[in-house]
């Protein structure tokens, strides 16, 4: 019996006759929807109507047939880059899935990032068992340690070959995933049969083709507490200003979400939306107007915002990322100087919770997300898939080619609803210049 089609019609009270006052938020056109904007009911391509011209991702999950014999398989795990809530949850999830579900008994944790795969550093790998990771999810950081920086690809593959590692799980951000891609190329060049599967980690939430990266929810929840503290400090003083610098080198998701969740922020500054300090419409005059009107203000700035305002050396860090100027301290000094020159009292409190935000244990939502990512990664690896990462897209867990995600960063789109929600919540001018 064929099921009756779903009736998704939404009743209306009649024709709409009045123009919305939200036609523009400041000078920015609002992203209105119309009746033809629809979301597909099913995220899968249907069996009887596959359209090969429509891009789609392979769905994650257990496979009936495996490439590797679990009893003869050796697994390696490495965590790289900066810390993020949920790293220990991922390691624990991989170890438990490999051991309890597939019966894989040889699992090594390589210490201190990619350095652990280069023997001359002398970092002895850890032997991982369910008992050794039983309580790992209750702690922040990573029990394996981490590091930044490029290592010799050949030496890393030499270690994998010497230890007879068949599957390598790489947990890290965009730089780490680029390294994983190079490891795959060297493995293929040597004609080896090893699986390399990535699990994307970045609290900046800037990995392409992902609903979110693990640890993001925990990170912005911790950031909200810092924003609330800034609000208390600002409202408790004459012309109080709470200035909070949050993580976000190239993407301002944490700043946006922290402002929306806190609902007491007056200005959000992110890398995707340039701003100026001086002039009638600049940040400083806008801040002075806000203080005159309300008596206090809270400013949230992402670490990568306003870099054009500062002189930087152009140097790079160990991961090859450009060293950014400290926008938080820069704004602190400029705001204080601006009001001092105008003989106006201002009480500015500066908060930088960066290491607190990324070092806390994962919350319950990220616990679940990390567990499912780890399970999906193991399912993919034992079936012989490689050069890929596992993630969630439109609510479904999928396999993504590494080459697809390492050539760009996900960013806040200033023309879309997230940024418009921030503008509506803060009441800040859409353009500060």
Q: Residue 326 catalytic?
A: no
Q: Among the options 89, 174, 204, 206, which is catalytic?
A: 204
3-state SS assignment for residue 405: helix
Q: Which long-range contacts (CB under 8 A, 24 or more apart) does 413-420 make?
A: 413/272, 414/28, 414/272, 414/273, 415/28, 415/29, 415/31, 416/31, 417/31, 418/256, 419/256, 419/272, 419/273, 420/25, 420/28, 420/30, 420/31
Contact 259, 243 (CB under 8 A): no
Pairing of β 396-401 and β 58-59: antiparallel
Q: How many CA atoms lie within 13 A of 43 on its CB side?
A: 10
Q: Where are the beta strands (DSSP E) in 173-279?
A: 195-200, 240-246, 267-269
Q: DSSP assignment of 69-113, as one string?
A: -GGG-EEEEEE-SS--TTHHHHHHHHHHIIIIIT---EEEEESSG
The residues carrying an active-site annotation are 204
């Amino acid at each position: 019996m064929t099921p009756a089609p779903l009736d998704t019609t939404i009743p209306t009270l009649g024709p709409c006759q009045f123009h919305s006052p939200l036609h523009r938020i400041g000078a920015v056109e609002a992203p209105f929807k119309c009746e033809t904007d629809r979301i597909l009911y099913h995220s899968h391509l249907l069996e009887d109507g596959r359209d090969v011209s429509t891009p789609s991702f392979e769905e994650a999950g257990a496979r009936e047939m495996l490439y590797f014999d679990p009893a003869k398989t050796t697994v390696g795990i490495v965590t790289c880059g900066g810390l993020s809530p949920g790293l220990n949850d991922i390691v624990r999830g991989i170890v438990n899935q490999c051991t309890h579900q597939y019966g894989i008994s040889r699992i090594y944790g390589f210490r201190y990032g990619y350095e652990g795969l280069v023997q001359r550093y002398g970092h002895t790998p850890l032997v991982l068992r369910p008992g050794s990771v039983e309580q790992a999810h209750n702690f922040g950081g990573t029990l394996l340690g981490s590091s930044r920086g490029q290592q010799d690809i050949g030496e890393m593959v030499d270690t994998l070959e010497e230890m007879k590692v068949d599957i390598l799980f790489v947990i890290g951000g965009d730089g780490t995933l680029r390294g994983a891609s190079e490891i795959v190329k060297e493995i293929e060049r040597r004609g080896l049969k090893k699986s390399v599967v990535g699990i994307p980690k970045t609290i900046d939430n800037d990995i392409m083709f992902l609903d979110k990266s693990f640890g993001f929810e925990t990170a912005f929840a911790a950031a909200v507490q810092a924003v609330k503290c800034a609000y208390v400090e600002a409202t408790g003083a004459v012309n109080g200003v709470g200035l909070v610098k949050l993580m976000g080198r190239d993407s301002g998701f944490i700043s946006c979400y922290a402002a929306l969740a806190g609902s007491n922020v007056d200005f959000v500054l992110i890398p995707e939306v340039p701003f100026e300090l001086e002039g009638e419409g600049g940040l400083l005059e806008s801040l002075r107007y806000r203080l005159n009107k309300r008596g206090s203000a809270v400013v949230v700035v992402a670490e990568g915002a306003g870099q054009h305002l500062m002189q930087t050396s152009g140097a790079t860090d160990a991961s090859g990322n450009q060293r950014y100027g400290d926008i938080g301290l820069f704004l602190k000094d400029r705001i204080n100087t601006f009001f001092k020159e105008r003989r106006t009292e201002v009480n500015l409190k500066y908060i930088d919770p960066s290491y607190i935000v990324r070092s806390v244990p994962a919350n319950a939502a990220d616990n679940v997300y990390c567990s499912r990512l780890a399970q999906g990664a193991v399912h993919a690896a034992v079936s012989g898939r490689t050069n890929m990462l596992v993630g969630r897209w439109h609510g479904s867990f999928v396999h993504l080619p590494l080459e697809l995600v390492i050539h760009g960063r996900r960013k806040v789109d200033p023309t879309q609803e997230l940024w418009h929600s921030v503008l509506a919540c803060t009441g800040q001018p859409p353009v500060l210049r």
